[in-house]
């Protein structure tokens, strides 16, 4: 039985807690939270843009801490699941690794590549796994697209267009803090940066245009340039001020002999499939793959299954690897730099 301690009970901490209940061979054995109401099980104030609403929880049998150091000293725990604000990820992960725990850290891995490097060094020294929660490849539409690309069935990858836009999440108090969250670039677009890196590799250069809110990217469009491939890759992301459409994401991925497309949005409280997952082949046929219903909670189930597999086998995850997560942060950092400077920026690795 893998015993897990969750650090931080906000929306994502609640999502992870509920998802672990659906898995065999794993148990949430401890929680750490400074809000006494949440630590007592009153999660009614927790909200997000998907999934169940917070409610009163029966936490009987779960050890509860209001001090992280005390939870890290709990020798019965195998894994620390970090769902705290991104600005805390690096320090908490390093402390957990030094305490001999495996670490599963929500995205973004950290707010700077330097902090990612410190986390990776701590994991290597402790001989423990450091895994990062990039859930997007486990959504059925994105998992399908990734599988189609990897299969080579429809020839070489040519490029893709990606979109992820939300209404300004004014219910998140630190969303626009560069020191705590990183704004929509690191809290939102990081999903697509990671998926682009997974599909196409590391870009050599990025060109971004859009709007800034202070020093943070607010809404932008980026073209990604690759040194060794003539890929045509672009992404649009950010926030709008109108609350009527709270969320939209989608893609169009081009292969030699097929185009893969998908678009989903939430208007008011209603989710709408603007374009169901679609494959256009080179014979003029339009195909719709049979996928699961797309419940985001199922994507987290797949993600946490992969986390447990990696911990049981001791083998890193090819999708939730810390190096990929670090590269996604570098890409986002360079996109913001290009947006601020109004010109293309080389990516590199730093």
Write a three-state SS string for 229-284.
CCCEEEEEEEEECCCCEEEEEEEEEEECCEEEEEEEEEECCEEEEEEEEEEEECCC
Q: What phi, psi does 268 have (nearest 5°)?
A: 60, -125
Q: What is the CA radius of gyration of the chain?
A: 20
HSE-CB at 221 with a 13 A cutoff on CA atoms is: 2
Residue 20 is predicted with a pLDDT of: 96
Q: Alpha carbon 223 to chain centroid distance?
A: 21
Fold held by 2-135: Rossmann fold (3.40.50)
Q: What is the pLDDT of residues 290-321, one digit of tens each?
A: 998 777 789 999 999 999 999 999 998 999 99
Q: Which residues contact 341 (CB under 8 A, 6 or more apart)?
A: none
Q: 108: cis peptide before it, omega within 30°?
A: yes
Residue 51 binned pLDDT confidence (cut-offs 50, 70, 90): low
Residue 269 is predicted with a pLDDT of: 82
Q: What is the pLDDT of residues 6-33, one digit of tens each?
A: 999 999 999 999 999 999 999 999 999 9
Domain coordinates of the chain in residue numbers?
Answer: 2-135, 136-301+328-346
HSE-CB at 281 with a 13 A cutoff on CA atoms is: 9
Q: Which residues contact 213 (CB under 8 A, 6 or more apart)?
A: 176, 183
**Tokens 């998802």 appear where?**
19
User: Is residue 53 pLDDT above 90, yes or no?
Assistant: no
> How far is residue 83's CA from residue 97's CA, in Å, rounded to a whole number?
15
Q: What is the pLDDT of residues 168-225, one digit of tens each?
A: 998 778 899 998 899 999 999 999 999 999 999 999 999 999 999 999 999 999 999 9
User: Is residue 77 pLDDT above 70, yes or no?
Assistant: yes
- We find that the CATH architecture of domain 136-301+328-346 is 2-Layer Sandwich (3.30)
Residue 155 binned pLDDT confidence (cut-offs 50, 70, 90): very high
């Amino acid at each position: 039985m893998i015993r897990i301690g969750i650090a931080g009970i906000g929306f994502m901490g609640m999502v992870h807690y509920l998802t672990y209940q659906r898995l065999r061979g794993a148990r949430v054995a401890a929680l750490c939270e400074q809000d006494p109401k949440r630590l007592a099980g009153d999660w009614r104030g927790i909200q997000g843009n998907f999934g169940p609403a917070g409610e009163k929880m029966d936490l009987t049998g779960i050890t509860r801490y209001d001090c992280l150091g005390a939870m890290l000293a709990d020798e019965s725990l195998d894994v620390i699941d970090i769902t705290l604000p991104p600005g805390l990820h690096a320090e908490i992960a390093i402390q957990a690794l030094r305490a001999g725990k495996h670490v599963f850290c929500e995205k973004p891995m950290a707010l700077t590549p330097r902090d990612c490097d410190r986390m990776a060094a701590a994991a290597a020294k402790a001989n423990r796994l450091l895994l990062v929660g990039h859930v997007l490849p486990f959504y059925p539409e994105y998992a399908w697209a990734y599988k189609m690309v990897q299969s080579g069935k429809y020839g070489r990858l040519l490029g893709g267009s990606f979109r992820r836009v939300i209404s300004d999440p004014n219910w998140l108090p630190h969303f626009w803090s560069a020191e705590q969250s990183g704004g929509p670039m690191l809290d939102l677009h990081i999903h697509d940066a990671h998926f682009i890196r997974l599909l196409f590799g590391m870009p050599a250069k990025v060109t971004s245009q859009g709007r800034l809110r202070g020093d943070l990217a607010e809404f932008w469009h980026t073209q990604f340039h690759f040194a060794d491939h003539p890929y045509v890759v672009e992404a649009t992301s950010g926030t709008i001020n109108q609350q009527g459409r709270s969320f939209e994401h989608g893609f169009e991925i081009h292969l030699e002999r097929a185009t893969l497309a998908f678009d989903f949005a939430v208007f008011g409280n209603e989710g709408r499939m603007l374009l169901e997952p679609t494959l256009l082949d080179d014979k003029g046929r339009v195909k719709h793959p049979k996928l699961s219903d797309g419940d985001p909670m199922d994507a987290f189930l797949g993600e946490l299954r992969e986390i447990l597999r990696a911990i049981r086998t001791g083998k890193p995850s090819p999708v939730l690897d810390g190096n990929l997560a670090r590269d996604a942060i570098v890409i986002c950092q360079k996109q913001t730099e290009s947006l601020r400077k109004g010109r293309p920026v080389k990516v590199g690795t730093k």
